[in-house]
Amino acid sequence: MAHDSLLEIKNLMTYFHLHEGIVRAVDGVSFEVRRGQTLGIIGESGCGKSVTAHSILRLVPSPPGNIVNGEILLHRGENGNEDGFVDLAQLDPRGADIRAIRGAEISMVFQEPMTSFGPMHTIGNQIIESILLHQEGVDGSEARELAIENLRRVGIPRAEQIVDAYPHQLSGGMRQRAMIAMALSCSPRLLIADEPTTALDVTIQAQILELMTALQEEYGMAVIFITHNLGVIAEVADEVAVMYLGRIVEQAGVNELFDNPQHPYTQGLLNSIPHIDEAKLARLRAIEGVVPDPYDIPSGCAFSDRCPSFMPGKCDSAMPDLAATGPEHRVRCFLYSEAEEIVTEVADG
Amino acid sequence: MADDSDLLLEVNDLKMYFPIQKGLLRRTTGYVKAVDGVSLSIKKGETLGLVGESGCGKTTTGRCIVRVYQPTEGEIVFHDEGEAVNLNLLARQELKAFRRNMQMIFQDPFSSLNPRMTVLELVGEPLLAHGIARGQELEDRVAEMVNAVGLKVEHLPRYPHSFSGGQRQRIGIARALVQRPRLVVCDEPVSALDVSVQSQVVNLLQDLQSELDLTYLFVAHDMSVVRQVSNRIAVMYVGKLVEVAESEELLRNPKHPYSETLLSAVPRPNPHHAMQRLSLEGEPADPANAPPGCVFHPRCRYMEDICQTEVPELTELTPGRHVACHFADQLQLQGIDYSASMES
């Protein structure tokens, strides 16, 4: 495996066991996050993008959710050193090991800055708590200084006053900045951002995206950026994974993906949105149908019932593999099945 | 502007102030000026897009027009078959009867439908309420409408929970259109939907508009969607309109600094897009405590002294284009560059 790999996920399956049946929210996802890079995960609701992120930090509520298979390898060793890694999938979700990782080595920014801060404590106290938990030899007043420093770094004006504010006293944009300040307070090596700008206005979204890009350069951390917005993903990601119903259907470098989308679903998504900087179409080219019910996924390829290139007898009989179609491009589709190399299961360690 | 015969709706100097009440005696200590002097007109058969950020008053404007709110001040005139009806002057009963001409499609298809009513009851309720149809006729009209929005007759006895977000939004659309309104206020009709479903609903709204001869006020924050559906776009900022123009013209050649920044902030699904984003510092002003002068001046990159003291009026710069900026005719603003994309 490449030596600069920070996080490797191999064949992850996270299932929810509900009364109505088993929901295969994440069903065999493999990817790799390299140090300092941004992996964008894009998909519609129910595609498993958030459950993937929650699985990494072991935040999937259990019951009903369970990681039933797969490895989540967090590499700790420096370049070339293969020894230092931990399999997050094997950790006790309530144990000390994962708690030492959450917020320190891997931290997360959520979509709803209002609900992800506790309402009863000041912003400062919540950031200080995280610093005191994870950084040894830091006392209370130093932690407070660090918290103010972090708030200042994410562009919050009057940080020494805001540190004593309660979450409800801040606007949505400021709250999201504070959320980022808290996530970065222990200099994580991986930041998972789950729809961090979806609840914000476009001008505020632009500010937050710029901030995150700048901070990523400054801290040299890797980012998993989850969103449903193709415009946002084009801006922030180095590599993009497109998910549909629990599986990655296409994965490529960001330029390659947007220049040469291969999976019919990716093509459909790109065609269906209005492009503000292109000539206006009389009608949008919508994808037919709706995302199927999670209990009632079509047999064969999950996208087969909506696919314009549907091949009867082939697409509805088996799930295609995620196969390489280029040096940096993998697609899960029978249209490309002549591609020589099959890389579904990452065999080497 | 168009001559009067084309107009469907005119709004003059609309104001909606919500009182801020404090203390034991609920004394009014101030007002949130959600809508502060909005004038606009909508022609028959057109779509006017109303864009702006959260809290700018675009939803309140829409709600005042369909009279969900009783506006603090201002005139709303509906042109009905050559007759001008001033909605403020209608009595309660008259207003109720008149409401069938104006309907609303809501943002959230999960909370805007009563979970205890079937599709038949939901879509049929407006017909009953206005005494338009009952019994078999009602069922026929509901079935016809439900087909028109892309649902099936088998769906009629089902409850909202058994539908997806996109299907629920179709129910909401059927409910609004079943009484054949003239004007429909679409309040963020696609922003709660998945990307692949958004385009289906946008297409549906456009198809229904031509089939049923509808006029839309399309309220949304997503500039790309608004441009797709609108003939003209009105940009709103903290209770006031800052620019109104024909939509392609507004995109290509914005004349208000806020329109310029809003356009540059739209994320483009194109990784090669050269970043020339104009960063907009700060956050929108508080409508309870708006700054003096131009409401946009604290964030404006072109701010001069006059902007801090004098409120710019919304004036007609060129035919069909209204701008509220002291320097509208002098500024060279950056719009969206179509030179590269037109060849493809």
Q: Which tens digit of pLDDT belongs to each residue from B191-222?
A: 888 888 899 999 999 999 999 999 999 999 99
Cβ neighbours of B222 in A, within 8 Å = 202
Take residue B284 and report the two structure tokens written for it.
Answer: 């929108």
- Give how far the C-alpha of residue B343 lies from the chain's centroid of Cα atoms, to the nearest Å: 33
Residue of A nearest to B267 (CA): A231
**What confidence category does residue A15 fall into, taking pLDDT thresholds of 50, 70 and 90?**
very high
What pLDDT does residue A238 have?
Answer: 94
Least confident of A198-202, A316-320, B189-193, B294-298: A198-202
What pLDDT does residue A348 have?
Answer: 41
Cβ distance B41 to B78 under 8 Å?
no
Take residue B86 and report the two structure tokens written for it.
Answer: 């001033």
Q: Is B213 exposed, middle or buried (0-12, 13-18, 19+ CB in 10 A)?
A: exposed
The secondary structure of B197-212 as a DSSP string is: HHHHHHHHHHHHHHHH
The set of residues, in sequence order, having a beta carbon less than 8 Å from that of A50 and lying 6+ positions away, is A194, A195, A226
Beta strands A21-34 and A5-18, pairing class:
antiparallel
**What confidence category does residue B4 fall into, taking pLDDT thresholds of 50, 70 and 90?**
low
Q: Is the pLDDT of residue B146 over 60?
A: yes
* Subunit contact B273:A287, Cβ cutoff 8 A: no
Q: Is the pLDDT of residue A341 over 50?
A: no
* Subunit contact A286:B196, Cβ cutoff 8 A: yes
Calculate what percentage of chain A has a pLDDT beyond 70: 93
Range B302-310 contact pairs with CB under 8 angstroms and sequence separation of 24 or more: B302/B257, B302/B327, B302/B331
> Kind and range of the H or E element at A26?
strand A21-34
Say how many C-beta atoms besides its own lie within 10 A of residue A259's C-beta: 12
Nearest to B269 among A230, A268, A285 (CB): A230
Cα–Cα distance for residue pair A317/A304, rounded to 1 Å: 10
Q: Is the pLDDT of residue A346 over 60?
A: no
- Give how far the C-alpha of residue B179 lies from the chain's centroid of Cα atoms, to the nearest Å: 20
Q: What are the start-end ranges of the H helices in B152-252?
A: 165-177, 195-212, 223-229, 247-252
Take residue A159 and report the two structure tokens written for it.
Answer: 């940080």
Q: Rounded mean pLDDT of A175-196?
A: 90
* Subunit contact A274:B269, Cβ cutoff 8 A: no
What pLDDT does residue B200 have?
Answer: 92
Place of tokens 């606007």: A171
What pLDDT does residue A186 have?
Answer: 87
Q: Give the predicted TM-score (pTM) of the model.
A: 0.88
* Residue A205 or B117, more confident: B117
Q: Is the pLDDT of residue B231 over 80?
A: yes
Closest alpha carbon to B40 in B81, B67, B2, B70 = B2
For an interface test with B, give the residue of A41, A44, A198, A276 to mutate (most B CBs within 10 A).
A276
- DSSP bridge pairs for B184: B103, B216
Closest alpha carbon to A202 in B107, B264, B225 = B264
What pLDDT does residue A342 have?
Answer: 44
The secondary structure of B59-119 as a DSSP string is: HHHHHHHTTSS--SEEEEEEEETTEEEEGGG--HHHHHHHGGGEEEE-S-TTTSS-TTS-H
CA distance B51 to chain A (A): 11
Cα–Cα distance for residue pair B129/B100, rounded to 1 Å: 10
**What confidence category does residue A292 fall into, taking pLDDT thresholds of 50, 70 and 90?**
confident
Nearest to B196 among A172, A233, A268 (CB): A268
What pLDDT does residue A78 have?
Answer: 59
Q: Rounded mean pLDDT of B3-7?
A: 70
**What confidence category does residue B342 fall into, taking pLDDT thresholds of 50, 70 and 90?**
low
Nearest to A258 among B269, B280, B337 (CB): B269
Q: Is the pLDDT of residue B88 over 90?
A: no
Take residue A180 and report the two structure tokens written for it.
Answer: 């980022």
Q: Is the pLDDT of residue B99 over 80?
A: yes
Range A150-154 contact pairs with CB under 8 angstroms and sequence separation of 24 or more: A150/A181, A150/A182, A150/A184, A150/A185, A151/A123, A151/A124, A151/A127, A151/A177, A151/A178, A151/A181, A153/A181, A153/A184, A153/A215, A154/A178, A154/A180, A154/A181, A154/A184, A154/A211, A154/A215
* Subunit contact B196:A235, Cβ cutoff 8 A: no
Q: Rounded mean pLDDT of A314-326?
A: 90
What pLDDT does residue A264 have?
Answer: 95
> Kind and range of the H or E element at B219?
strand B215-220
Cβ distance A221 to A189 under 8 Å?
yes
Sheet with B7-22: strands ordered across: B27-43, B7-22, B73-80, B83-86
Say how many C-beta atoms besides its own lie within 10 A of residue A160's C-beta: 13
Q: Indicate the average pLDDT of chain A.
A: 87
**What confidence category does residue B182 fall into, taking pLDDT thresholds of 50, 70 and 90?**
very high
Say how many C-beta atoms besides its own lie within 10 A of residue B13's C-beta: 12
Q: Rounded mean pLDDT of B95-103?
A: 90
SS3 B11: strand
Residue of A nearest to B299 (CA): A203
What pLDDT does residue B107 have?
Answer: 86
Q: Is the pLDDT of residue A340 over 50?
A: no
Q: Is A296 exposed, middle or buried (0-12, 13-18, 19+ CB in 10 A)?
A: exposed
**What confidence category does residue B224 fall into, taking pLDDT thresholds of 50, 70 and 90?**
very high
Say how many C-beta atoms besides its own lie within 10 A of residue B162's C-beta: 11
Nearest to A284 among B202, B271, B283 (CB): B202
In tens, the pLDDT along A48-96 reads 999 999 999 999 988 888 999 999 999 886 554 556 788 999 988 888 9
SS3 A310: coil
What pLDDT does residue A206 have?
Answer: 87
Q: Rounded mean pLDDT of A256-278?
A: 93
Least confident of A201-205, A222-226, A231-235, B255-259: A201-205
Q: What is the dihedral angle through the alpha carbons of A258, A263, A267, A273, rounded to the nearest 10 degrees?
A: -90
In tens, the pLDDT along A153-183 reads 888 888 888 999 999 888 888 888 899 999 9
What pLDDT does residue A343 have?
Answer: 45
Q: Is B276 on the interface with A (CB under 8 A)?
A: no
Place of tokens 């995280």: A130
The secondary structure of A80-110 as a DSSP string is: T--S-EEEGGGS-TTSHHHHHHBTTTEEEE-
CA distance A261 to chain B (A): 12
Cβ neighbours of B248 in A, within 8 Å = 280
Q: Is A115 exposed, middle or buried (0-12, 13-18, 19+ CB in 10 A)?
A: exposed
Nearest to B270 among A173, A210, A234 (CB): A234
- Helices and strands (H, E) in chain B, number of each type: 10, 12
Please report the residues numbered 161 through 200 in chain B whose beta carbons come closer than 8 angstroms to any beta carbon of chain A. Answer: 164-167, 194-200
